[in-house]
């Protein structure tokens, strides 16, 4: 009890709690009203046929989809999403812990607030039952453990520890969620290779154990593919092979669409921060390269792939999700040049951008649910009934009030961090 009271006495911890709880309530409300999509129905079929893996995805999406059904014994749009709702709350918490470990509590709280309001994160990772839910959970948990391994709080010289083995296990679990988890392992390996002070991890026996645990964890995927002539690997691998000429215009169009999914006041700064920080990290030694190595391969590789095939929105989002702590860099650089931007003007601009960024995406999400399918953002993916829309419309007034109150609270906390 004393431990809980001590934790609650910290104001930052209280903010973290209310942001996580408010986000969970909001996403639960949307999950209850939003009719199921085609992909969700497809993953529900996974739960009816348990297996070591499946044709186009690893097995964890079947487990997260079935979690709410196992608990309640009923099948509904809410029960199939119950697992992702809880997983994304845990994902946000470990994202906060990762940013706090790398930078500060202020950076961690800002990271948590932004990730709690970006529309594509809420929908793709925190509401719909998709393979991205377990992928993002184990990705966040892995990065926190890796941050504790490579950057201890006492800033002592790096020495490999048992956490390396846990990192290998978590990378394997991320791959059980979605094949994109290999990019996490690739980024961590590149960081170790390019960081002189962490290169000694390659000679550690913990690295061998880490690789062994990784292979053991993904063994269900290997076993299933071995039984089915490697059909899943061949299917996913062929999607990355160009089958037509490369169009550089489509690359820029893909980047623009990604910024729109992120909401412009989040998406455009994240592109700028990621690219400028990657150049600056070549000149200075900091913790930023760690963050960039686990972020840039995810969104840059799929963005470039957009030159010859259509890219789904969630493919690139893990990269943007984890370069969230980087806005701290841009705010520091502005602080070093007070003569160029007046404090009053900067406060006005940041107030309006932050308020729009926090308020508009949830309001847009509620508006989309409450309108007819002709104007719904989700009309390409959903075929809801009239009854569902009538119920959503009756609740829309209350939803907008709740959305406005929660958004005002989060926006106020973000402004306190900037000013």
207 has pLDDT over 80 = yes
Quote the pLDDT of residue 274: 52
Sequence-distant (6+) residues with CB within 8 A of 110 are: 99, 327, 328, 414, 417
* Portion of the chain with pLDDT greater than 90, in percent: 34
Look-up of token digits 């969700």:
40
Q: What is the pLDDT of residues 46-64, one digit of tens each?
A: 999 999 999 989 999 999 9
Which range scores top for mean pLDDT: 59-63, 100-104, 253-257?
Answer: 59-63
Quote the pLDDT of residue 400: 52
Sequence-distant (6+) residues with CB within 8 A of 183 are: 297, 298, 301, 318
267 has pLDDT over 60 = no
191 has pLDDT over 60 = yes
Q: What is the pLDDT of residues 274-283, one digit of tens each?
A: 555 555 544 4
Least trusted range by pLDDT, from 78-82, 102-106, 147-151: 102-106
Select the more confidently predicted residue: 96 or 309. Answer: 96
Q: How far apart are CA 20 and CA 18, in angstroms?
A: 5
Select the more confidently predicted residue: 60 or 115. Answer: 60
Quote the pLDDT of residue 169: 96
Closest CA to 94 of 163, 16, 201: 16
Quote the pLDDT of residue 5: 79
Look-up of token digits 């504790």:
148
Select the more confidently predicted residue: 399 or 16. Answer: 16
209 has pLDDT over 90 = yes
Structure tokens at 358: 């926090």
Quote the pLDDT of residue 138: 95
Mean pLDDT of 170-174: 95
Residue 131 banded pLDDT, cuts 50, 70, 90 = very high
Q: Is the CB of residue 94 less than 8 Å from the CB of residue 144? A: yes
185 has pLDDT over 60 = yes
Count the neighbouring beta carbons within 10 Å of the beta carbon of residue 209.
Answer: 16
Mean pLDDT of 209-223: 95
Mean pLDDT of 103-112: 84
Quote the pLDDT of residue 225: 94
Closest CA to 132 of 317, 291, 309: 317
Residue 175 banded pLDDT, cuts 50, 70, 90 = very high
Mean pLDDT of 278-298: 69
Quote the pLDDT of residue 382: 42
Residue 401 banded pLDDT, cuts 50, 70, 90 = low
Residue 256 banded pLDDT, cuts 50, 70, 90 = confident
Select the more confidently predicted residue: 256 or 291. Answer: 291
What average pLDDT does the chain have?
A: 76
Sign of the alpha-carbon dihedral angle for 17, 121, 79, 371 = positive
Q: How far apart are CA 173 and CA 213, in angstroms?
A: 10
383 has pLDDT over 60 = no
Q: How far apart are CA 359 and CA 401, in angstroms?
A: 11
Quote the pLDDT of residue 66: 93
Mean pLDDT of 103-118: 83
Quote the pLDDT of residue 57: 92
Domain ranges of the chain: 2-231+243-335, 348-418
Least trusted range by pLDDT, from 38-52, 124-138, 167-181, 287-301: 287-301
Quote the pLDDT of residue 389: 46
Select the more confidently predicted residue: 380 or 27. Answer: 27
Closest CA to 180 of 374, 367, 318: 318
Q: What is the pLDDT of residues 319-372, one digit of tens each?
A: 777 665 554 443 443 334 444 444 444 344 444 444 444 455 555 555 454 444
Quote the pLDDT of residue 377: 41
């Amino acid at each position: 009890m004393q431990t809980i009271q001590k934790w609650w006495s910290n104001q930052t911890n209280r903010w973290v709690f209310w942001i996580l709880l408010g986000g969970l309530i909001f996403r639960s409300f949307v999950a209850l009203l939003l009719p199921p999509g085609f992909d969700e129905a497809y993953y529900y079929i996974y739960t009816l046929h348990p297996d070591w893996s499946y044709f186009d995805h690893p097995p964890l999406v079947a487990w997260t989809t079935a979690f709410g059904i196992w608990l309640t014994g009923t099948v509904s749009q809410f029960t199939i999403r119950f697992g992702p709702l809880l997983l994304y709350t845990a994902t946000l918490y470990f994202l906060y812990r990762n940013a706090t470990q790398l930078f500060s509590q202020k950076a961690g709280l800002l990271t948590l607030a932004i990730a709690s309001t970006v529309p594509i994160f809420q929908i793709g990772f925190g509401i719909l039952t998709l393979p991205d839910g377990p992928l993002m959970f184990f990705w966040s948990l892995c990065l926190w453990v890796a941050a504790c391994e490579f950057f201890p709080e006492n800033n002592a010289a790096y020495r490999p520890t048992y956490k390396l083995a846990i990192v290998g296990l978590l990378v394997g679990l991320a791959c059980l969620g979605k094949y994109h988890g290999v990019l996490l392992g690739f980024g961590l390996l590149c960081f170790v290779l390019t960081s002189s002070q962490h290169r000694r991890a390659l000679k550690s026996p913990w690295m061998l154990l880490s690789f062994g645990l990784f292979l053991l964890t993904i063994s269900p995927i290997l076993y299933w593919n071995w039984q089915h002539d490697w059909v899943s690997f061949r299917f996913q691998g062929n999607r990355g092979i160009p089958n037509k000429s490369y169009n550089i215009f489509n690359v820029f169009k893909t980047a623009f669409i990604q910024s729109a999914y992120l909401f412009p006041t989040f998406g455009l700064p994240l592109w700028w921060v990621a690219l400028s920080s990657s150049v600056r990290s070549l000149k200075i030694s900091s913790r930023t390269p760690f963050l960039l190595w686990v972020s840039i391969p995810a969104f840059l590789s799929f963005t470039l792939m957009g030159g010859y095939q259509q890219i789904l929105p969630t493919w690139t989002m893990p990269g943007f999700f984890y370069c969230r702590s980087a806005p701290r860099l841009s705010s520091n650089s502005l602080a070093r040049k007070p003569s160029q931007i007046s404090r009053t003007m900067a406060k006005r601009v940041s107030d309006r951008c932050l308020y729009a960024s926090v308020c508009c995406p949830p309001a847009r999400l509620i508006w989309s649910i409450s309108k007819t399918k002709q104007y719904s953002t989700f009309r390409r993916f959903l075929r809801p009934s009239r009854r569902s829309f009538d119920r959503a419309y009756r609740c829309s007034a209350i939803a907008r009030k709740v959305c406005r109150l929660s958004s005002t609270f989060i926006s106020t906390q973000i402004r306190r961090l900037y000013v």
